[in-house]
Chains A and B, each alone.
Chain A
């Protein structure tokens, strides 16, 4: 076994160890498994939020985009850097407080409590589950490819190991395991990525020398307009690129659950500092490494391996091991969050809500675990047989998630007139418009990104339908009360806390 493999083995054992540890310290029951008992502080919240939203895309997709498009690819980083603070400042405190007042344990359930109708969950849960499944599959593929490259073992076996470790600790410790492993993984990711960047810049003789060399290949690669120059620039794609990873975060259920698990609503404030700090250091690095790979590895067959190959080329063996652990960390920290979210949606948002309402806490946790296992097995077989390109899958699934859910999450916390018909219309309009835009090739024809189109459609639908149906479908009084309480800076009165019950559309305050 080479030294890189040893580092990965140590890393995998450490992650599994955290899973076992959280199994011991975690609180029991659904709130313990799904939200870590709402006990997480600012650093864990911020780094969990960031690492779970970064994904293997940062090591495969970002490098590939940079290798083929040069500095144009940094438009994605420009949005991404602000994604964390935007999410925490707009949703953080309010979503934490409102979700607790309404007694919500999952980010989809929160939507149904805020917009009380079973149709909210009946639409949101399948859309989220579908997108998250494809997203998690892309993480499996990234993990398998990474392991294959480092260890030399065949892709199918490498994939099996990567999936096995992720499932193991997600299965055991639930949200707490995912949050703490994500926290550790964010730090490993940062160390790994900064190390590659430093090694890479040293190898090309510094950033300026590297840029000059890239300019000799094609001067347009140094511009923000793409390899074909400003004449061919698609402004809609640029706007979409910035939107996907800034505003788009606010529509991702597996990321938004971080707000609900915060120890206190005010945690969002300090978490924003950690999030922006982490993003500034981490996010631009894979793009710059991908660009510099044009000089170091000019004949690379698969651009998705640019960051991997650069690490292998410029770093000593022991450092490659740590870097590879960082790469696996990025992949696994997203995959575990997605898997847990999938299990949560299947058990809480679909099975318990629509099929077996009298399910106990313990049964619910086991259904969630079983779902994690089943999805992992299906994901493994799809990924091993016909692996699609990681970047494409990630961008497509996150685009649909963002288009479908960004307006309903923001309005849930801020707009008191947002009602059930508005939310349903918004989710449908966002999903359909972004999928149609993507699948019919309108992106190429119009030059407008499907995320931008989807968000415009879903926002307009939410506003128009909510306003048009205010009389027929007023926002329930207990929801308005909860929102008013959320506006206030202060402790939640005990009388405001609703118990979670199975007739979710009829949640009322305990003393009502």
Chain B
């Protein structure tokens, strides 16, 4: 195929296919990470309301540096 030996074809298409599958599996398994964004949005909203105790991932460490 493509004027290439079979082993070459298998390797140059097979390994990228493995990476694609790895990516899709990772995206599927990490679908729960959305919950982290929701929790952070909530914490930030609480901060804005003055209820405190919030969190900070999206705020950075800001002035801490």
Residues of A close to B58: CB separation below 8 A: 38, 263-264
Residues of A close to B37: CB separation below 8 A: 264, 266
Q: Are A272 and B27 in contact (CB under 8 A)?
A: yes
**CB neighbors of A among B1-42 (8 A):** 2-5, 7-8, 11-12, 15-16, 18-20, 22-23, 26-27, 30-37, 39-40, 42
Q: List 23 A-B contacts (CB under 8 A).
A: A31-B60, A71-B8, A71-B12, A78-B12, A82-B15, A85-B19, A89-B30, A103-B64, A208-B3, A209-B3, A222-B4, A223-B7, A224-B11, A263-B58, A264-B37, A273-B27, A280-B16, A489-B35, A490-B39, A491-B40, A491-B54, A498-B64, A500-B65
A209 to B3, CA, bound (A): 7
What size tier do the contact residues of chain A reach?
35 or more
Determine whether A173 belongs to the interface, using a CB cutoff of 8 Å to chain B: no
Identify the 4 closest CB pairs spanning chains A and B, nearest first.
A491-B55, A211-B3, A82-B19, A38-B60
Residues of B within 8 A of A (CB): 2-5, 7-8, 11-12, 15-16, 18-20, 22-23, 26-27, 30-37, 39-40, 42-43, 52-58, 60-65
Nearest neighbor of A207 in chain B, beta-carbon distance = B2
Q: Are A489 and B36 in contact (CB under 8 A)?
A: yes
Beyond A37-B60, A284-B12, A500-B65, whether A492 also contacts B55 by CB under 8 A is yes
Q: Are A82 and B22 in contact (CB under 8 A)?
A: yes
* CB-contact partner of B33 in A38, A71, A265, A279, under 8 A: A265
Determine whether A29 belongs to the interface, using a CB cutoff of 8 Å to chain B: yes
Nearest neighbor of A510 in chain B, beta-carbon distance = B64
Residues of A close to B5: CB separation below 8 A: 222-223
Q: Are A85 and B3 in contact (CB under 8 A)?
A: no
Determine whether A100 belongs to the interface, using a CB cutoff of 8 Å to chain B: yes
Residues of B close to A493: CB separation below 8 A: 53, 55
Q: Are A105 and B42 in contact (CB under 8 A)?
A: no
Determine whether A361 belongs to the interface, using a CB cutoff of 8 Å to chain B: yes
Residues of B close to A284: CB separation below 8 A: 12, 16
Q: Are A497 and B36 in contact (CB under 8 A)?
A: no
Residues of A close to B60: CB separation below 8 A: 31, 35, 37-39, 100
Interface of B is mostly: helix
Nearest neighbor of A262 in chain B, beta-carbon distance = B57
Interface centre among B34, B53, B56, B61 (most CB of A within 10 A): B61
* CB-contact partner of B65 in A31, A264, A273, under 8 A: A31
Q: Are A224 and B65 in contact (CB under 8 A)?
A: no
Residues of A close to B20: CB separation below 8 A: 276, 280
Beyond A489-B35, A494-B54, whether A85 also contacts B64 by CB under 8 A is no
Residues of A close to B62: CB separation below 8 A: 31
Residues of B close to A268: CB separation below 8 A: 30
Determine whether A30 belongs to the interface, using a CB cutoff of 8 Å to chain B: yes
Determine whether A215 belongs to the interface, using a CB cutoff of 8 Å to chain B: yes
* CB-contact partner of A31 in B22, B42, B52, B61, under 8 A: B61
Q: Are A490 and B22 in contact (CB under 8 A)?
A: no
A89 to B19, CA, bound (A): 12
Nearest neighbor of A35 in chain B, beta-carbon distance = B60
Beyond A37-B60, A103-B64, A494-B53, whether A71 also contacts B4 by CB under 8 A is yes
A479 to B35, CA, bound (A): 24
Determine whether A476 belongs to the interface, using a CB cutoff of 8 Å to chain B: no
* CB-contact partner of A499 in B18, B19, B64, under 8 A: B64
Interface string of A30-63 (1 = CB under 8 A from B): 1100010111000000000000000000000000
Q: Are A100 and B7 in contact (CB under 8 A)?
A: no
A210 to B2, CA, bound (A): 9
A269 to B5, CA, bound (A): 36
Residues of B close to A361: CB separation below 8 A: 65
Nearest neighbor of A79 in chain B, beta-carbon distance = B15
A86 to B18, CA, bound (A): 12
Determine whether A93 belongs to the interface, using a CB cutoff of 8 Å to chain B: yes
* CB-contact partner of A491 in B30, B32, B43, under 8 A: B43
Nearest neighbor of A210 in chain B, beta-carbon distance = B3
Residues of B close to A224: CB separation below 8 A: 7-8, 11-12
Residues of A close to B7: CB separation below 8 A: 223-224
A492 to B42, CA, bound (A): 12
Determine whether A97 belongs to the interface, using a CB cutoff of 8 Å to chain B: yes
Q: How far is the CB of A4 from chain B (nearest CB, A)?
A: 32
Q: How far is the CB of B33 from chain A (nearest CB, A)?
A: 4
Interface string of A283-306 (1 = CB under 8 A from B): 010000000000000000000000
A210 to B32, CA, bound (A): 47
Q: How far is the CB of B44 from chain A (nearest CB, A)?
A: 8
Determine whether A228 belongs to the interface, using a CB cutoff of 8 Å to chain B: no
